[in-house]
Amino acid sequence: MLPVNLKKQLGEHLNESFIVKRSVFQNCLELHPYSEWKLTMEKLNKLNRFVKKNNDFIRRYNAGVRIIDLDNNGRLLIPKDLSKLYFSNNEIVLTSAINIIEVWDKNSYEDVINDPNLNFADLSESVMGNQSSDVS
């Protein structure tokens, strides 16, 4: 079930299908509103398919991609094979990541957020510091 605050953030995207896929960098799933997914696919379609690393990337990036829809009760059903891979129990965390929703196993999410090896102040300065108002 999508929390009310995420439904508000999604706005008109709630009427779309969603793409569920494995995250590239984290041990979680990503939910992409279909319109956002189309933008990503437009970028991928510009890659030269005669370059092996491009083909390898496209194949891996799209591995396990599924289309899912909200049911009549406002729930998204994560396919069982992906559920078994990513969630050790029934406790999940849904978090907004700008234009997508990340779906985490609660324990994995807390481990990543509370990673003692990551200095968030340093990361913030490195990513967001010393930039003009246009973030790239």
**Residue pLDDT, tens place only, 75-119:** 888 998 888 889 988 789 999 888 899 999 999 999 999 999 999
- Token pair listed for 88: 């050790």
Taking residues 39-61, what's their average pLDDT?
Answer: 96
Check residue 134 and give its pLDDT.
56
How many angstroms separate the CA atoms of 21 and 29, rounded? 6
pLDDT-derived band at 9 (thresholds 50, 70, 90) equals confident
Tell me which architecture the domain covering 4-128 has in CATH: 3-Layer(aba) Sandwich (3.40)
Taking residues 19-39, what's their average pLDDT?
Answer: 94
Check residue 133 and give its pLDDT.
57
3 state DSSP class of 29: strand
Alpha helices in the chain (DSSP H): 4-10, 34-45, 52-61, 80-86, 106-113, 120-128
* Sequence spans of domains, the chain: 4-128
The helix or strand, by DSSP H or E, that contains position 96, with its residue range, turns out to be strand 92-97
Measured in whole angstroms, how far is the alpha carbon of residue 34 from the centre of its chain?
A: 12
